[in-house]
Amino acid sequence: MDETLRLSLQTCFALYGASRAVTSAYRPLLDPLGLTYPQYLVLLVLWERDGRAVKEIGAELRLDSGTLSPLLKRLEAAGFVERRRETADERVVTVHLTGSGRALRESVACVPGQVAAKAGLDREELIALRDVLTRLTRTIEGKTP
């Protein structure tokens, strides 16, 4: 097989493996708090700005309602968020942190540092990796809308 094709395959597989490895690096840290990695991402979005619509959260994380609806239901069942149907536009549901949802922020403050330590990349590499992955994602999404 062509060298370039092989390289493409290897890179895609490396991406697939690395993503699972990072998620599994988060797992032992989040599990004691009763969170999964995607749930943690939703909370990050809400900690930055509370009371967002499901739609906005989805735009931020690139997740549709098919993924978010049940996930938010679980976060609500766990007591970390509340969902409110807006009166101004009753199609919209906004998601609000509860007290324990806000409190969780302190509990996970050390998580990113611990994951960074497990990853073992230095600052330069993290920046380069973040930037090339962001560009890759944007390029693909531009071509598969």
Partner DNA sequence: GGCATTTAGATTGCGCACAACTCAATCGCG
Partner DNA sequence: CGCGATTGAGTTGTGCGCAATCTAAATGCC
Q: What is the binding site for its own copies (CB under 8 A)?
A: 2, 4-26, 28, 37, 41, 44, 62, 112-113, 115-116, 118-121, 123, 125-130, 132-134, 136-137, 139-141, 143-144
Q: Where are the alpha helices (DSSP H) in 31-98?
A: 37-48, 54-61, 65-77
Among 6, 20, 130, 138, binds DNA (CB under 7 A): 20
CB of 42 to its own copies, least distance (A): 12
Using CA atoms, how far apart are residues 87 and 92, in angstroms rounded to an integer? 9
Contact partner, 79, from DNA, its own copies, none, Cβ < 5-8 Å per class? none
Radius of gyration of the chain (CA): 18
Cα 5 from chain centroid (whole Å):
30
Q: Take residue 119 and report the two structure tokens written for it.
A: 């990853």
Contact partner, 98, from DNA, its own copies, none, Cβ < 5-8 Å per class? none
Contact partner, 53, from DNA, its own copies, none, Cβ < 5-8 Å per class? DNA
Contact 42, 61 (CB under 8 A): yes
Q: Does 114 bind DNA (CB under 7 A)?
A: no
Contact partner, 99, from DNA, its own copies, none, Cβ < 5-8 Å per class? none
Q: Take residue 111 and report the two structure tokens written for it.
A: 């998580």
CA-based torsion, 118, 45, 57, 84: positive or negative? positive
Chain residues binding DNA by CB under 7 A are 16, 20, 23-24, 27, 36-39, 53-55, 58, 62-74, 83, 88-94
